[in-house]
């Protein structure tokens, strides 16, 4: 049978979540996320990010979360600045534009937004005598890890924060894979750093152990009026909201979120090492749970017999860049098999 490394949402959820859902199943709670489980999960998250006053909301999925946040922070003629490979720019079917806002793409550096690039764009914009006829930059969107598995440094984040502050732009961090970022061995960015340097961010559950769910954190509570109504309007207010509370309770009450993230990254780095040991280069310098080996057609075909993985893009010299993902659910023995297969390429 095929062993799958195609994405980080191919299994259900961490078994402890299912156990908890089963145990609480017949509890009767009010709907829409105003129940004791959500309250407790919010407390746990406030604690984890080190902000006892932060506002926390739970949504179902990433595209939905990006859309709600961006439409909430922007006025109608403003757009969201991001790197050209940003998820909102390429893989959300125009969700951001569907709410009336342009995505303003800048060239990325391995999927990351460089503060100098951002500053140059903003300076150019503000020196343009026709800027009134352009979309106004209204916020900055970044992902950590990026779509390429790369990570900001603490210094890189600080610089972005500084440019954003100077130009009055909120900084929004998409953390769909946040666990895999903060638990990477090389990173110097903690969850608390993110909470300190961003105006809004979210902690992804869908790709990190939950059935579904993203926890939005706004360090400065009350910044957006009627945020729950905005979630509802976008179809993101889950009727049985406690399902989100129960999942994040489980993930954050004793460090499960971090533990499973660490596991996934460790397995991913084993994969990377195995490929590199065979002289197979990586497309991006990812230090998280996604790895991008560049294979020859022959290598590709041989691996594809036993393993499922993503074709990513064709390189200029005709080789095939691929993506292998690990997750909380990745079995070490499956990685053993892949490592062994890579060793024979």
223 binds a second copy (CB under 8 A): no
Nearer to a second copy, 127 or 298 (CB): 127
Site membership for a second copy, residue 30 (CB under 8 A): yes
Helix, strand counts (H, E) of the chain = 14, 13
> Binding of a second copy at residue 25 (CB under 8 A)?
yes
CB nearer to a second copy: pick between 197 and 218? 218
Q: Is 132 in the site for a second copy (CB under 8 A)?
A: yes
Query: Please, which of residues 87-106 interact with a second copy by CB under 8 A?
Result: 90-95, 97-103
User: Judged by CB under 8 A, does residue 134 bind a second copy?
Assistant: yes
Report d(CA 48, CA 290) in Å as an integer: 25
| Phi/psi at 311 (5° precision) | -75, 130
Asked if 311 is part of the footprint of a second copy (rule: CB under 8 A), the reply reads: yes
Q: How far is CA 167 from CA 3, 111, 277, in A?
A: 48, 22, 46
Taken in order 197, 200, 205, 206, the sign of the CA dihedral is negative
Stretch that binds a second copy, among 8-16, 192-200, 215-223, 296-304 (CB under 8 A): 8-16
CB of 92 to a second copy, least distance (A): 7
CB of 155 to a second copy, least distance (A): 30
- Tell me: does residue 136 bind a second copy (CB under 8 A): yes
* Minimum CB distance to a second copy smaller for 136 or for 190: 136
Shortest separation between residue 326's beta carbon and a second copy, angstroms: 12
- Distance from CA of residue 65 to its chain's centroid? 11
305 binds a second copy (CB under 8 A): no
The residues near 252 (Cβ < 8 Å, ≥ 6 apart) are 41, 44, 45, 47, 48
Binding of a second copy at residue 320 (CB under 8 A)?
Answer: no
> Cα angle vertex 98, ends 93, 103, to 5°?
75
- Binding a second copy by CB under 8 A: which of 123, 232, 273, 340? 232
Neighbour tally for 57: CB within 10 Å: 25
Structure tokens that stand for 122 in this block = 């903003």
Q: Is residue 226 involved in binding a second copy (CB under 8 A)?
A: yes
Tokens describing residue 68? 């709600």
Does 28 bind a second copy (CB under 8 A)? Our answer is yes
Of 32-71, which residues contact a second copy (CB under 8 A)?
A: 32, 60-65, 67-68, 71
248 by DSSP, 3-state: which?
helix
**Residues within window 201-220 making contact with a second copy, judged by CB under 8 A:** 206-207, 211-212
Q: For residue 236, give the 3-state DSSP assignment.
A: coil
- Rounded Cα gap, residues 140 and 138, in angstroms: 7
């Amino acid at each position: 049978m095929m062993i799958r490394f195609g994405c980080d949402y191919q299994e259900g959820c961490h078994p402890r979540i299912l156990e908890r859902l089963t145990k609480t199943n017949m509890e009767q709670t009010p709907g829409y996320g105003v129940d004791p489980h959500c309250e407790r999960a919010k407390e746990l998250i406030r604690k984890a990010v080190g902000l006892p006053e932060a506002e926390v909301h739970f949504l179902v999925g990433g595209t939905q979360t990006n859309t709600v946040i961006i439409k909430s922070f922007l006025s109608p003629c403003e757009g969201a600045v991001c790197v050209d490979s940003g998820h909102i720019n390429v893989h959300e079917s125009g969700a951001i534009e569907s709410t009336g806002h342009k995505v303003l793409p800048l060239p990325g550096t391995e999927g990351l937004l460089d503060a100098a690039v951002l500053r140059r764009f903003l300076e150019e914009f503000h020196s343009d005598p026709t800027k009134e006829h352009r979309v106004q930059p209204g916020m900055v969107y970044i992902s950590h890890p990026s779509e390429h598995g790369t990570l900001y440094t603490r210094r890189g984040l600080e610089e972005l924060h500084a440019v954003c502050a100077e130009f009055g732009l909120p900084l929004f961090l998409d953390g769909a894979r946040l666990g895999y970022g903060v638990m990477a061995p090389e990173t110097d960015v903690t969850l608390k750093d993110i909470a300190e340097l961003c105006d809004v961010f979210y902690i992804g559950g869908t790709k990190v152990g939950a059935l579904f769910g993203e926890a939005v954190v706004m360090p400065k509570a009350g910044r957006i009026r009627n945020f729950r109504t905005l979630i509802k309007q976008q179809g993101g207010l889950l009727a049985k909201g406690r399902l989100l509370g129960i999942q994040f309770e489980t993930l954050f009450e004793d460090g499960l979120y971090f533990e499973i993230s660490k596991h996934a990254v460790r397995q991913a780095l084993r994969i990377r090492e195995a490929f590199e040991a065979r002289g197979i280069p990586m497309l991006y310098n990812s230090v998280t749970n996604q790895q991008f080996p560049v294979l020859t057609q022959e290598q590709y075909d041989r691996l594809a017999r036993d393993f499922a993985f993503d074709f990513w893009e064709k390189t200029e010299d005709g080789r095939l860049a691929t993506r292998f993902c690990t997750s909380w659910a990745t079995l070490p023995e499956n990685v053993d098999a892949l490592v062994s297969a890579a060793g024979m390429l």
